[in-house]
Structure 1
Amino acid sequence: MELPFFPALFSTVKSLVVKQPFFPTLEDWLVNHPKILEFSWINGQTPASSQRFLTLTVFSYISFTFILSQVSRPFLARPVLKSISAVHNIFLLTLSFIMALGCLVSIFSQVPNFNTLVCFPKRTSPSGPLFFWAYIFYLSKIVEFMDTLLIILGNSMKRLSFLHVYHHFMVVIMCYLCLDSVQSSFSMVLVTNCIVHVVMYTYYLMCTLGMRPKWKKMVTDFQLLQFWASFLIMAMLVFYHFTGSGCSGILSWCFNAVFIVSLLFLFSDFHAKSYSPKVKGN
């Protein structure tokens, strides 16, 4: 059983994209490269794939964040901090763009239909281009811990909120579980998240360079839109799971559902406090 509209839309878009003259070149770079095509996630063998690594990474992030926020911190000259921040933002917005593009090209190259995109068959192996980009995405979330360090070194402690810390360490756990359990539809979430991060890190870069874009609210709006899109994707996964032979990674789906609900609540609260008419009036 299939959902109406979405399968036809996917087939139409896929047909249009693969016929473009640039597609074979992108496919060679982002899908058919041996390192990408032959990638396989093996727990305990692939770098950063063990549960011990995940536990130590998350624990270290939380511990160092707490300690550094409580003690006297080393002072970085503002020009040095701005330079580091600029390089960090350029790296992450570029990486986010490449991950979104790589995953999209992999989807159009490797995924036969919309049903498979949303619902990986049970016993799907975590190998190939889609899982390579999911792996890079997972590693990028560890790199994003640098966001927190830059906030602390810049003495911008108002930005070091519970939402910031919670979001950064929980998303690493989510990415790990999605890879390890072969989470269905994760590639769709990856694309939407990376597109939002291109916008977000572009905004951060402009602020670092001394500009003050007027679309700060749009960044939070995009993040909220991403969470609603994730709800739609998860709902479609459940539909295919219970109307077909089942989908891979349904248990990690439960973790993701709780996590995204919590993020939606926290970001909505942040949005209300930051952009309500009462706040603007003050």
Structure 2
Amino acid sequence: MHGLEMESFNHKLNLYIDSWMGPRDPRVRGWLLLDHYIPTFSLTLLYLLIVWTGPRYMKNRQPLSYRGVMVAYNLGLTLLSFYMFYELVTGVLQGGYSFFCQDTRSGGSADDKIINVLWWYYFSKLIEFMDTFFFILRKNNHQITFLHVFHHATMLNIWWFVMNWVPCGHSYFGACLNSFIHVLMYSYYGLSAIPSMRPYLWWKKYITQGQLIQFVLTVIQTTCAVVWPCGFPNGWLYFQISYMVTLIILFLNFYVKTYKKQDPSQRKEYQNGMASPVNGHSNGMASSDSVKHRKPRAD
């Protein structure tokens, strides 16, 4: 499309989305990637295209190892996740946010702080596409599961809508818990790229348990806002509950298959400190260092 045609299309699409969703929150107007849905949607389509074509491209090529890049990437996401968790916690305390229900307009300057960090949370979902690209380059195609792709693709799009309509208030809780889990998760991946550290990585299994607890707590906290409403839009609450239930089912299925149905030889490998993947993810390991027939990554 030419520039004018694209601008016209963006305008028409925005009008359609706004007629469906209602007025947007003006506090995020002009923020990177938020004014128009097309960039987020296009980046998701590009991600799915790479997921589909990447393994075919790599089929007759040697897997690539990025040990140094993997350490830096996972360290970067660990630090970003810690920053988001810290900022969300301090923002919630500053604004006196309620666990049971919090609207998007009563937190004063704390709302602005929450909006800023939640934009980074949205943007981090784009950065995390790299998880899958590393799988492709290292030919770990068995790690590219439905759950892995579904979770990555949907989160970026969901959070584009969240940022445009409910960028603070009750939206804080799930992002706060998820950021904390990601501190543990990406630190594990980064450390697993260092061979001498692998025997000491014992918390792999508990990350998946933490994710399941995160989803359950988010359902409970979201349901509170339905039972004791405060003006936060009910449509968002019902959607959040539905999405969390979907993730509980998918992650629980992954957890059972990964940790409850291992044969003795696999269990021994885990007990010996092998850095096998957690949540379907082993991006800290080079392909040549990992055990065969590893369990897929879910996140």
TM-score, length basis structure 2: 0.72
Q: Is the 8 A contact 1:124 1:248 kept in 2?
A: no
Aligned pairs for 1:4-153 (under 5 A) are 40-42=27-29, 45-49=30-34, 50-72=36-58, 75=62, 77-78=64-65, 81-109=66-94, 111-114=95-98, 118-120=101-103, 128-153=112-137
Q: Which one-letter code corresponds to 2:50 in the other structure? A: F
Is residue 122–residue 247 contact of structure 1 (8 Å, CA) maintained in 2?
no
Q: Which residue is 1:173 aligned to?
A: 157
Calculate the TM-score normalised by the size of structure 1: 0.76
**What SS does the aligned partner of 1:40 have?**
helix
RMSD: 2.4
Task: Tell me the amino acid that sits aligned with residue 69 of structure 2.
Answer: I
**Given that residues 192 and 226 in structure 1 are in contact (C-alpha distance below 8 angstroms), is that contact kept between their aligned partners in structure 2?**
yes
Partner of 2:192: 207
Deviations 1:64-104 (A, max 9, x none): 111112333664643xx111111110000000000100111
The 1-side partners of 2:106 and 2:158 are apart by: 20
Amino acid at match of 1:236: C
Matched positions, count: 233
* Structure 2 partner of 1:281: 264
1:119-167 per-position Cα deviation (integer Å, ceiling 9, x unaligned): 2057999961111111110001100101111111111112111111101
Question: C-alpha deviations, 1:166-204, integer Å up to 9, x for none?
Answer: 011111122112211216411111110000000000110
Identical amino acids, percent of aligned pairs:
22
Q: For residues 247 and 146 of structure 1, what CA distance do their matches in structure 2 show?
A: 37
4+ aligned runs moved over 3 Å, structure 1: 73-77, 121-127
> Unmatched 5+ residue regions in structure 2?
1-25, 266-299
Instruction: For structure 1, list consecutive stretches of 5 or more residues without a partner in the other structure.
Output: 1-38
Counterpart-to-counterpart distance in 1, 2:135 and 2:162:
29
**CA distances 1:106-129 after superposition (whole Å, capped 9, x unpaired):** 1111x23526x7320579999611
**Alpha-carbon separation, structure 2, partners of 1:70 and 1:170:** 24
- Retained in 2: the 8 A contact 1:181–1:252? no
